[in-house]
Amino acid sequence: MRGLNLFWFFGLGFIFAIPIDTLDKPLDGLDFYYQSGLDAYQSGEYENAKTAFEQVLENNWESPELYYNLGNVYFRLNDISGAVWAFEMCLFHDPTHEDAAFNLKLTNVNVKDRIAIPEAPIYLKLYLGVKERYTPNEWVKFTLGFLILFLLFVIIQKFGGYSTAVNVSENLAIILVFISFSFTFHSLWSDSKITEGIIDTYSIDVLSEPNTSSIVLFQVHEGLKVSIAQHSKNWLEVELVDGKRGWINEKNIRIIH
């Protein structure tokens, strides 16, 4: 019982400690910019569409739909790194956006650097497949939803008397709480700790140290997705999926966040 109380304390405490979305409402002119971007895209004026969509981003507003359409515009303008970045951003905010996933795969065909990585074990693929299907916010909602369900069953048991069906449902609900809590925890942790970015320069040398006089380790090209291991002034240490590490100037990378 004491253990259960500690779980509630830390579990709810963890959820309440997560940064919360602000209550601001979009500006009135935002829809105008966005709509003009869509109109320009439809009429094939991709430069105008790009300007309109970027205007929305400059006003600090974002949405999966905006990133998706911006990705399409970048693709049409042959900006491979921009398209990869925008589709990745779309999927970051809505991992279930199928069109963005398709367009990202299609764009990646044009990325020069192709790194062959060994196939992940099936259980890991399954786990990551489930985890990455939802955003951290959605996982928080699932956990809280199951928690509410569990508490309702507890209350029914307490005031309505024992019932086998309710007891089984209660146990099932607590199992779901634990499972979704694990996914929530991992999802929030990886989102806050792991930063990724897209190489934004056609071709860039990756250096052994964060200064221009150090040794060139290897070369990467636009559109490649990398993890950012650490930051030093205006230099970033990047890590490729095959484990290669090196430093590049931060102006050559677009961060996914």
Partner 1 sequence: MVIKFLNIFLLANLIFAGNVTVDVDSRRINEGDSVTLTIRSVNSKNAPEVILPNITDFMVVSGPNQSSSSNYSILNGKMESSSTYTLEWILMPRKSGRLRIPSLSVKLDGKLSQSNPIFISVSKRSQNSNEDAQFYVEANIDNTSPYRGEQVTLTHTLYTRVDVTGFDEKMPRLKGFWVEELFSPSKLQLRKVQKNGRQYHSATIKKSALFPTKSGKIVIDPLIATIGVRDRKRNSFSVFGSPSKQHTISTQSISLDVKPLPATNDGHTSSVVGVWNIKSTIDRNNVLQDEALKIKIHLTGNGNLKSVDILPYEFPEGFEVFEPKVTIKSAKSQIKIGGEKVIEYVVIPRTTGKIILPPFEIKYFDNVSKKWKTKESKPINLWVKINEKSSTTTVGLSKEEVQLVGKDIRFMDDNVPRWKKSNSGLVDRNSVMLAIVALLLFLLPGMVNLRQSHLASTVGDRQSRMALKKSVKIIKSITDSPENVYGSIHQAIIMYINYKTGRKTVEYSITDIIKIFENSGVPVNSIEDLKKIMEHGQAVRFAPISNTDVQKDIELVMVILKEADNAWS
Binding site for partner 1 (CB under 8 A): 8, 12, 15-16, 18-24, 26, 30, 34, 38, 41-42, 57, 60-66, 68-69, 72, 75, 93-94, 97, 99, 102-103, 105-109, 112-116, 136-137, 140-141, 144-145, 147-148, 151-152, 154-155, 158-159, 188, 191-192, 202-203, 219, 221, 257
Question: Using the 8-state DSSP alphabet, how is residue 121 labeled?
Answer: P
Using the minimum distance from each CB to partner 1, give the nearer residue, 233 or 257: 257
- From CA 86, how far away is CA 54, in angstroms rounded? 11
In terms of Cβ atoms closer than 10 Å to its own Cβ (0-12, 13-18, 19+), residue 243 is: exposed
| Smallest distance, partner 1 to C-beta of residue 229, A | 22
Nearer to partner 1, 10 or 202 (CB): 202
Nearest-approach distance from CB 203 to partner 1, in angstroms: 8
Phi/psi of residue 220, each to 5°?
-125, 160
Decide if 200 contacts 250 (C-beta within 8 A): no
Task: Describe the strand order of the beta sheet including 195-199 as a list of residue ranges.
Answer: 216-221, 203-207, 245-249, 235-239, 225-232, 195-199, 253-256
Q: Please say which residue, 44 or 121, places its beta carbon nearer to partner 1.
A: 44
Contacts of 15 (CB under 8 A, 6+ apart): 140, 143, 144, 184
Cβ of residue 245: shortest distance to partner 1, in angstroms? 19
Neighbours of 244 (CB within 10 A): 14
Min separation Cβ 242 and partner 1, Å: 11
Alpha-carbon gap, residue 80 to 19, rounded angstroms: 33
Half-sphere exposure (Cβ direction) of 86: Cα atoms closer than 13 Å: 24
| Closer of 4 and 165 to partner 1 (Cβ) | 4
| Closer CB to partner 1, 159 or 213, in the complex | 159
| Nearest-approach distance from CB 91 to partner 1, in angstroms | 13
Cβ of residue 211: shortest distance to partner 1, in angstroms?
25
Give dist(CA 89, CA 197) in Å, integer. 10
Among residues 16 and 123, whose Cβ is nearest to partner 1? 16
Q: Hey, what are 94's tokens?
A: 């809505």
Indicate the residue among 2 and 114 with the shorter CB distance to partner 1: 114
CB of 189 to partner 1, least distance (A): 11
